[in-house]
Structure 1
Amino acid sequence: MLSGKTDNLKKGTLPRLDPAAYIGYKHVSFTAVTLDRRHVFVRRAVVDPCIAMLSEDCARHNCECLVYVFMPDHVHLILHGCDASSDVLQSHNTWKGRTGNELCGQFMCHTIWQPRSRDHVLRSHEYERGALRNMLQYALQNPARAGLVSTWQDYPFVGSLIGPYDIRHPYWWDWFYNGRE
């Protein structure tokens, strides 16, 4: 068994931390991949309702979405629990279920998502090394690394659901990092 991971793994499934690891003031990076790497997130008419559901589900579970990146065949979400009772995993799972139901109707399919999402919960010692900044930058750079755009700022499906500034605005970073790390 992996340290801190649940031991009820089936062959081919990703390990998952105990559900308690996702409760409270946590920063978690999720990557949800479409089934068969289907290119689903290529139009604003598909992405915008998913962002609206993300906002609702974060509010419902008292979480913030620091960054979202909708790639054609997967989505990066970096969520943060806002208080001691926040359930970041439940927020993500609720969003994934709701978007799956909505998108299956549009795409005439049985399921949109692969069963498990990859995730990484930041541990307290990682903050000292700037891991949150690295996590945000890694997600945001994904469209440029994939060759879809020259810079992540040119990609239409990146954003944040917090703060007074658009994530592309230079003040967003100053505002965000003030007191977060």
Structure 2
Amino acid sequence: MARPWRIDFEGAYYHILSRGNERREIFYDDTDRGSFLDVLGEMSERFNVEIFAFVLMPNHYHLLLRTLEANLSRAMQWFGVTYTRRFNNRHDRCGHLFQGRFRSLLVENDAYAVQLSLYIHRNPLRAGLVRRLADYKWSSYPVYAYGRKGPPWLRTDLILSHFKGKDPRKAYREKVQAYADEEKRLWESLRHGMILGSEKFVEDIRGRFADVPVNREKPEQKNVLGKLDPAKILALASKVFHWDPGCLEGSRRLYGVDRENRDLVVYFLWRNGAYRNAEIGRIFGMGYSSVSHIARRMKEEITKNPSAAAKYEKLEEQFKM
């Protein structure tokens, strides 16, 4: 199974969710919960990650964070592995603790982050764990709402700055209490299953990642970025192969190195996933069945032929995959 595509850049906000394997508990007691928060603080310092909100539920957790470096996957991988190792060591167990990879939603800005903090903090109430959120210990809500002492790495100033007046904490409490009716509207701004924000923000993301080709094994990436211009792909490929990209177009018969280079580009477009086989075939003057044949052959060739693999790797590097 392909790894999910992560939209990664400096200063990006994310909502993170991860569940226990087979929806089992990821905390057995308060010592585990304390260990989880310790590891979270270590991750924050080690990877330069700002954490704005958290809630620890019996079999999953939510985080609201911002990566000051483009390192979400590295940070969360380290976090998951480290907490799992400590949990397993303490309980004399082995194996996976979390269900697959974590889920991340890219969040447009701090205004959306405010809404997410309300959603995250209401989790224990929605799950029926408490009747009053103030009674739930393993959440950042008491820090926001009542100024209780929280972890030193928790940032509350950004969210609270959106609540004006003499008592921002009281305003925050009142907003959380009234948020039940507004919660559904938050998810109306969910775009392509992975971006929480406006359509303009999606367009900004497309512009930011315009040179990144789409991987057919990652449909969420295809949905966001769309198609790459074939002429641009051929032009960039010419920088790798050092020939005129015009020789690849049309029905011209190719031999030797030229044929291998063309077939590598065909495979690249096929794996890119944004084009149907018939569309790729029209670019190169061949039928859709030939595209399928070439794709299968080159996929195997790359695993056996170091020269072809090296050229394909350079092709991927050219597009910053």
Q: Distance between the aligned counterparts of 2:121 and 2:95, measured in 1?
A: 30
Q: Contact (CA 8 Å) 1:32, 1:114: kept in 2 or not?
A: yes
Q: Distance between the aligned counterparts of 1:33 and 1:175, measured in 2?
A: 27
Corresponding residue for residue 176 of structure 1: 159
Greater per-residue strand proportion: 1
Q: Contact (CA 8 Å) 2:64, 2:113: kept in 1 or not?
A: no
Q: State the SS of the aligned residue for 1:22.
A: coil
Query: Where do residues 95-134 of structure 1 align in structure 2 (5 Å cutoff)?
Result: 95-107=79-91, 108-123=93-108, 130-134=111-115
| Amino acid in structure 2 at the alignment position of 1:71 | M
Q: Contact (CA 8 Å) 1:26, 1:88: kept in 2 or not?
A: no
Task: Select the structure of larger CA radius of gyration.
Answer: 2
1:31 positional shift:
0.6
Root-mean-square deviation (CA, aligned residues, Å) is 2.7
1:30 positional shift:
0.7
**What per-residue deviation string (whole Å, max 9, x for no partner) do you get for residues 21-54 of structure 1?**
2231011011110111112325211100110111
Q: How high is the TM-score relative to the length of structure 1?
A: 0.74
Q: Contact (CA 8 Å) 2:26, 2:98: kept in 1 or not?
A: no
> Structure with the greater relative contact order (CA < 8 A, sep ≥ 6): 1 or 2?
1
Query: Where do residues 66-145 of structure 1 align in structure 2 (5 Å cutoff)?
Result: 66-82=52-68, 85-107=69-91, 108-123=93-108, 130-145=111-126
Q: Contact (CA 8 Å) 2:15, 2:64: kept in 1 or not?
A: yes
Q: Distance between the aligned counterparts of 2:39 and 2:27, measured in 1?
A: 15
Identity %: 19
Matched, 1:56 2:39: no
What are the ranges of 5 or more consecutive residues in structure 2 without an aligned counterpart? 149-154, 164-321
Greater per-residue helix proportion: 2
1:170 positional shift:
5.9
Corresponding residue for residue 22 of structure 2: 36
1:168 positional shift:
3.3
Q: Contact (CA 8 Å) 1:141, 1:151: kept in 2 or not?
A: no
**What per-residue deviation string (whole Å, max 9, x for no partner) do you get for residues 94-138 of structure 1?**
1111011111223313111111111101135xx5xx321111111
How many residues align structurally? 156
1:158 positional shift:
0.6
Matched, 1:65 2:48: no
Q: Contact (CA 8 Å) 1:29, 1:77: kept in 2 or not?
A: yes
Corresponding residue for residue 16 of structure 1: 4
Name which of 43, 47, 58 aligns with 2:33: 47
Name which of 25, 33, 40 aligns with 2:11: 25
Q: How high is the TM-score relative to the length of structure 2?
A: 0.44
Q: Distance between the aligned counterparts of 2:15 and 2:37, measured in 1?
A: 16
Q: State the SS of the aligned residue for 1:32.
A: strand
Q: Contact (CA 8 Å) 1:47, 1:157: kept in 2 or not?
A: yes
Q: State the SS of the aligned residue for 1:168.
A: helix
Corresponding residue for residue 131 of structure 2: 150
